[in-house]
């Protein structure tokens, strides 16, 4: 034990054998069990929230695509009328449709194609001539075209007595309500997911802060101002939150990027085409990536703000 002799020790200089000390340690411990657990919780919650966001974006994009696919097509139905030649009526109706602007393609279904359409119900070897079955002409619209449907309908009714125009309005309405429902359900799930993320991150931050209470008290008693103490913790927890958010959000971004790449690569295969039909190109688009980045920022900001709030509560209780 060294003696505390004032005169003797005060005359001494710093011990030359000792390494020069430096105050390199952060006031808030950099590596703690609570901190690592917090990073893991933030990473997991950000990953799940990002997946939900991406899934909602995919569903929304697919729903819009389904709607526009249906809405881009019109069908002329030509019913057989006694005394009229079906093929001539089909040709006449096709000619009328071609004259209208906004129609990119007019394709009357051939007799064989019409037979194939009915095959599931009526079996093979069918001859349509023996049955009064209507024939179809599929009109494909140019993107964003505004076709004068009433005039087309009137023109068809005047020239071809058995023709009627179906703009699939009923289908589009049902498709729209279905896709709207899907998007609303997705948005609700996203809101719940974000709420869960907020709560989990807030509680995990409070948990990690619990072990730091003695540090807050010591800083308080040695005369540190509340703002100084809060900023020390806020900065530290912002870094933890950002780390967790980047791990979770980054993993989600990689997953979606890989998914998009895989779909593009297998586009021509049967499986790839099925996936594309269901989920589009599996690309969440730039909006999706921006939303994921925002969630990373949200997780980090939330962690920092919760730590500040907890410090203030601790200081009030000291």
Partner 1 sequence: MVRFENVGLRYGLGPEVLRDLTFRVEPHSFQFLTGPSGAGKSSLLRLLFLSIKPTRGLITMFGHDVATLSKDALATLRRRIGVVFQDFRLLDHMTTYENVSLPLRVIGREETSYRREVVELLQWVGLGERINALPPVLSGGEKQRAAIARAVIARPRLLLADEPTGNVDPTLAQRLLRLFIELNKAGTSVIIATHDIALMDQYDARRLVLHEGRLHVYE
**Cβ at position 39, least distance to partner 1 in Å:** 18
**Cβ at position 213, least distance to partner 1 in Å:** 11
Query: Nearer Cβ to partner 1, position 22 or 101?
Result: 22
**Cβ at position 242, least distance to partner 1 in Å:** 21
Decide: helix, strand or coil at residue 103.
strand
**Residue showing tokens 């040709």:** 91
Q: Which of 236, 210, 242 is nearest to 34 (CA)?
A: 210
Query: Nearer Cβ to partner 1, position 88 or 218?
Result: 218
**Cβ at position 51, least distance to partner 1 in Å:** 36
Which parts of the chain are beta strand (E)? 73-78, 103-108, 135-141, 163-166
**Cβ at position 300, least distance to partner 1 in Å:** 23
Query: Nearer Cβ to partner 1, position 21 or 271?
Result: 21
Q: Which of 239, 212, 228 is nearest to 301 (CA)?
A: 239
Contact 306, 244 (CB under 8 A): no
Query: Nearer Cβ to partner 1, position 20 or 286?
Result: 20
DSSP assignment of 65-81 equals: HHHHHHHTEEEEEE---
**Cβ at position 244, least distance to partner 1 in Å:** 21
Query: Nearer Cβ to partner 1, position 9 or 154?
Result: 9
For residue 83, is it left (φ>0), alpha (ψ between -120 and 50) or beta? Answer: left
What CA–CA distance (Å, rounded) separates 7 from 89? 120
Tokens of residue 149, six digits: 């449907």
β-sheet bridge partners, residue 128:
none
Residues in contact with partner 1 by the rule CB under 8 A: 1-4, 6, 9-10, 12-15, 18-25, 27, 29, 214-215, 217-228, 318
Query: Nearer Cβ to partner 1, position 23 or 268?
Result: 23
Q: Which of 98, 119, 26, 61 is nearest to 288 (CA)?
A: 61
Query: Nearer Cβ to partner 1, position 22 or 130?
Result: 22
**Cβ at position 214, least distance to partner 1 in Å:** 6
Residue 94 CA to chain centroid, in angstroms? 42
CB count in 10 Å sphere of residue 63: 20
């Amino acid at each position: 034990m060294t003696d505390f002799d004032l005169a003797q020790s005060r005359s001494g200089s710093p011990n030359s054998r000792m390494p020069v000390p430096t105050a390199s340690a952060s006031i808030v411990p950099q590596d703690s069990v609570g901190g690592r657990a917090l990073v893991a919780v933030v990473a997991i919650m950000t990953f799940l929230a990002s997946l939900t966001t991406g899934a909602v974006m995919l569903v929304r994009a697919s729903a819009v695509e389904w709607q526009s696919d249906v809405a881009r097509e019109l069908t002329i139905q030509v019913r057989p009328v006694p005394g009229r030649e079906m093929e001539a009526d089909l040709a006449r109706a096709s000619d009328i449709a071609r004259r209208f602007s906004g129609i990119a393609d007019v394709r009357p279904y051939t007799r064989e194609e019409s037979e194939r359409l009915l095959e599931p119900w009526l079996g093979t070897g069918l001859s349509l001539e023996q049955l009064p079955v209507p024939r179809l002409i599929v009109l494909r619209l140019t993107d964003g075209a505004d076709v004068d449907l009433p005039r087309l309908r009137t023109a068809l009714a005047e020239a071809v007595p058995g023709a009627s125009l179906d703009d699939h309005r009923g289908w589009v309405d049902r498709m729209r309500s279905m896709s709207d429902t899907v998007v609303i359900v997705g948005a609700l799930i996203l809101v719940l997911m974000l709420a869960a993320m907020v709560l989990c991150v807030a509680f995990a931050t409070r948990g990690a802060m619990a072990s730091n209470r003695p540090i807050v008290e010591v800083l308080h008693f040695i005369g540190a101002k509340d703002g100084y103490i809060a900023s020390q913790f806020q900065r530290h927890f912002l870094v933890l939150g950002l780390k967790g958010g980047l791990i979770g959000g980054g993993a989600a971004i990689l997953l979606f990027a890989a998914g998009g790449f895989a779909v593009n690569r297998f586009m021509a295969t049967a499986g790839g085409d099925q996936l594309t039909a269901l989920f589009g190109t599996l690309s969440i688009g730039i909006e999706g990536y921006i939303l994921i980045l925002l969630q990373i920022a949200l997780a980090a900001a939330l962690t920092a703000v919760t730590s500040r709030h907890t410090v203030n509560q601790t200081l009030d209780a000291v």
